[in-house]
Amino acid sequence: MFFSHIFFEVSELGIIEALLLGLVQALTEFLPVSSSGHLVLSQHWLGIQAAGDAAFEVAVHLGTLLSILVILRSEVGDLLKGFIRTESRTKVWREELSFILISAIPAGLIGVLFKDQLENAFGSIQAVSLALMATGVILLTTYKRSGNRQQVKLSDAILIGIAQAIAILPGVSRSGSTISLALWLGIQRERAARLSFLMSIPVIGGAGLLKALDLIKSPIDAEMYIMMLIGMSSSFIFGLGALSIMLKWISKPSFAYFGFYCFGLGISIFYLF
């Protein structure tokens, strides 16, 4: 999840680590397995200690945000047309854009109001393991869920927004929880996936903007900019592939099989750490 609050010290980041963490971010941001949980685990396994610098996290999330804008450029373009133009045929696009912005409100409020508590949660491997198990169960419940509805209602946006806010917790998959809820609401599978990723744009962008403002207050050195560029490039390139795969997988019941992975990983971590 984009509010991962995993920060890295320049001295502990090398090119290989930056590439690997960019790959982890890309794969787990779009696949329903929780990027926040995997970043916490990757930090632990790579021996990277938390620090007060958000630069690298801003970069890898910017990379995955760019991959969303590329893969879903048609939908994003339609939404922008609905915002700019006033013709009656853009009414549907304007309405959907408003729903996407509304869905970002719960996550924004929780991220701002409970920032310190959330940061503490990212230090607990046990908490991540329990959240991964919960994600696994949620995904498995979608095996036979397949609606036909294309149109999204205001109530859908609010409920999916709440699910997106809950996914701030490390180990709870944002895409997994939002797509699963959309399926339970009767929304068609591919529509649910595309809606989920469109809804992530303002949340990822907002989180990145807030952390970028923090960087203005705490300047970084040239070495960190290089690591940022490497991590961003890695998350962008691998994100293109991961998002494309996810949009194909969602059309099949095998999407639910990611639940076995999340539950198995969660229970393994619980007993091993």
11 pLDDT above the threshold of 50: no
Helices marked H in the chain — which ranges? 15-30, 35-46, 55-71, 73-84, 91-113, 115-121, 125-140, 154-166, 174-184, 189-217, 222-249, 258-272
Average pLDDT value for the chain? 81
Q: 83: Cβ–Cβ under 8 A, 6 or more apart, which residues? A: 93, 94, 97
215 vs 248 pLDDT, higher one: 248
Gap between the Cα atoms of 176 and 256, Å rounded: 9
**pLDDT of 32-78, one tens digit each?**
898 878 877 887 777 665 443 456 777 888 899 999 999 999 988 88
Give the model's pLDDT for residue 89: 57
Q: Where are the domains of the chain?
A: 10-272
Gap between the Cα atoms of 209 and 156, Å rounded: 26
Percent of the chain with pLDDT over 70: 83
Give the model's pLDDT for residue 267: 94
Q: 40: Cβ–Cβ under 8 A, 6 or more apart, which residues? A: 4, 6, 122, 125, 128, 170, 171
Residue 184, token pair as written in the block? 């339970």
DSSP SS3 for 187? strand
- Whether pTM exceeds 0.85: no
